Structure 1
Amino acid sequence: MWGTFSARTRWIVVGTASAVVAAVAVWLLWPAAEEPRPREYADVTACLLTDQRGLSDSEAAATWAGMQEASLATKGQVRYLQVAGAQTVDNAATFVGTLMLNRCAVIVGVGPLPREAIAQTAPNHPDQRFMVVGEGSGGANVSTVSAVPANDLRGLISNAIEFFLTAGN
């Protein structure tokens, strides 16, 4: 069979076959890429409560961004909950209760409705920490972050949430 081919053709065929075998061997023996590991979180959570606008509100969006920064810095978890249904203080208070059941180290309220729900709930739960963004009535367990421009708010919230996430750990 090889007699009909020239020596040059034989070397080309053998060289090509060798290159293919080598490429397949390298491909098979190449170390597999490491699977990305899921992020490990500390067992502490900060929670954000918003009204029906959710994170579309600029104050809520800046607060959430600050909370996420704090999460990266501390490995604490952050989550948010939007008040669904009737936009009443009593209904919003049930969402505050849900966040307390989820063992949030601090519950942050943004917007008039969440702030009022926290003001109503906080006195009955002195061991729970709360924070309101904007004007709000403080209490022994309620911190207030004044309304400031979004860029400043993000940094203030990040620092405050870092404190709560590390203190709760």
Structure 2
Amino acid sequence: MRRWVVAAAAGIVVAGAVAAVVWWPSGDDSGLPPARARVYADFSACLLTGGQGLASPGAGPVWAGLQDASGDTRIKVSYLTASGPATEANYLPYLNSLAQRRCDVILTAGEPGTSAALAQAAAHPAIRFVAVGGTGREGPNVSAVRVTDHVRGDVAETVRAAARAAGR
């Protein structure tokens, strides 16, 4: 019995030594990919979409433009889908949610989001509103982007300009 206990103890010691060698950090982590952390600017642009999210009419190119602007300015971008009926009254709570999240720029693509943004712009003077494909009405804190073949680039440049104006 005593030999069995000694043999078991020796086996545990050998297994522990092998485990230590296998798990001991070698100091050479060149096989690991580099860290991919991204530091964002203190600036955010938020898109309010229709009930189909990014598949909503006109939302795809606007989202692509936001991602382009984020890529070279490091601003944060996000979107929120307004579910329910496509009415200005239904879009208002979603728009106000983006305002409460302190989005620096709020973009809308088409109606009724654009009407809701125009209705709320005066109540949120510190927020820049960008109405894509809306009625073309502008104000002190409202920019209109016409729907053309260059919507993606126009949106990206409008958001970049807003970030620059804010010092970001």
What's the TM-score bracket when you normalise by the shorter of the two chains?
A: 0.7 to 0.9
Match of 1:163 among 149, 153, 161: 161
Q: Percent identity?
A: 35
**Cα offset, 1:30, TM superposition:** 6.4
Q: Give 2:28's match in structure 1, choosing from 26, 31, 46.
A: 31
Unmatched runs of 5 consecutive residues or more in structure 1: 1-23
How far does residue 45 in structure 1 lie from its aligned partner after superposition?
Answer: 0.2
Q: Hey, what does 2:111 align to over in structure 1?
A: 112
**Secondary structure at the counterpart of residue 69 of structure 1:** helix
Answer whether contact 1:70 1:161 (CA < 8 A) is retained.
yes
**TM-score when normalising by structure 1:** 0.76
**Shift in Å, 1:122:** 1.1
SS for the counterpart of 2:157 is: helix
CA-CA distance at 1:85 after TM superposition: 2.5
Count of equivalent residues: 143
Q: Which runs of 5+ in 2 are unaligned?
A: 1-20
Quick check: 1:45–1:78 contact (8 Å CA) kept in 2?
A: yes
Higher Cα Rg, which structure: 1
Which structure: greater helix fraction?
A: 1
CA shift for structure 1 position 34: 5.1
- Report the Cα distance in structure 2 between the residues aligned to 1:162 and 1:31, rounded to whole angstroms: 41
Q: Does structure 2 conserve the Cα–Cα contact (< 8 Å) formed by 1:46 and 1:165?
A: no
1:52-91 matched pairs, under 5 angstroms: 52-57=51-56, 59-91=58-90
RMSD: 2.1
Residue 38 of structure 1, CA deviation:
1.8
